[in-house]
């Protein structure tokens, strides 16, 4: 039934000791209890990159225990993933009210928008 699904919003936070707090752990190779769940590892099991939407908390307070990445670090990771693996599915955030001016989303998606035309 996967071919009928347009995209997967994946919560890359609040996963115990699986931190998803670096480019490597988020996009290449995850660790901890939920190992083999990075974007690349999910793609390696047959889910198309264009369906894998990354979900992150806006602030440390929006994540119960893990997954927070400072907006510039997350933006760099997003840019790197777009350039190196052609991943461009997008990002969603928890929670909207924590980013009332859109500073986080604008910072993070800059690299994704820049690589869209490459």
What is the C-alpha separation between 38 and 112, in angstroms, rounded? 18
Range of the domain at 77: 2-115
What is the C-alpha separation between 7 and 56, in angstroms, rounded? 16
Checking if the pLDDT of 37 tops 70, the result is yes
pTM exceeds 0.85 for this model: yes
Residue 117: pLDDT band with limits 50, 70, 90: low
The answer to whether 80 touches 23, Cβ cutoff 8 Å, is: yes
Section 96-116 average pLDDT = 86
The answer to whether 82 touches 112, Cβ cutoff 8 Å, is: yes
Residue 116: pLDDT band with limits 50, 70, 90: low
User: What is residue 114's predicted lDDT score, i.e. its pLDDT?
Assistant: 73
**Total structural domains in the chain?**
1
- The domain that holds 14 is classified in CATH as 3.20.20.80
Q: What is the pLDDT of residues 49-96, one digit of tens each?
A: 999 999 999 999 998 888 999 999 999 999 999 999 989 999 999 998
Q: At what angle do helices 103-115 and 71-85 cross, to 10 degrees?
A: 20
Three-state secondary structure of the chain? CHHHCCCEEEECCCCCCCCCCCHHHHHHCCCCCCCCCCHHHHHHCCCCHHHEEEEEECCHHHCCCCCCCCHHHHHHHHHHHHHHHCCCCCEEEECHHHCCCCHHHHHHHHHHHHHCCC
């Amino acid at each position: 039934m996967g071919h009928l699904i347009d995209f997967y919003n994946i919560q890359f936070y609040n996963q115990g000791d699986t931190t998803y707090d670096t480019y490597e752990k988020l996009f290449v190779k995850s660790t901890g209890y939920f190992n083999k769940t990075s974007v690349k590892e999910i793609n390696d099991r047959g889910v198309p990159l264009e369906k894998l939407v990354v979900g992150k908390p806006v602030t440390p307070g929006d994540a119960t225990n893990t997954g927070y990445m400072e907006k510039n670090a997350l933006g760099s990771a997003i840019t790197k993933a777009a350039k190196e693996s052609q991943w461009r599915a997008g990002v969603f955030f928890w929670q909207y009210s924590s980013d009332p001016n859109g500073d986080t989303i604008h910072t993070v998606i800059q690299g994704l928008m820049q690589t869209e035309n490459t």
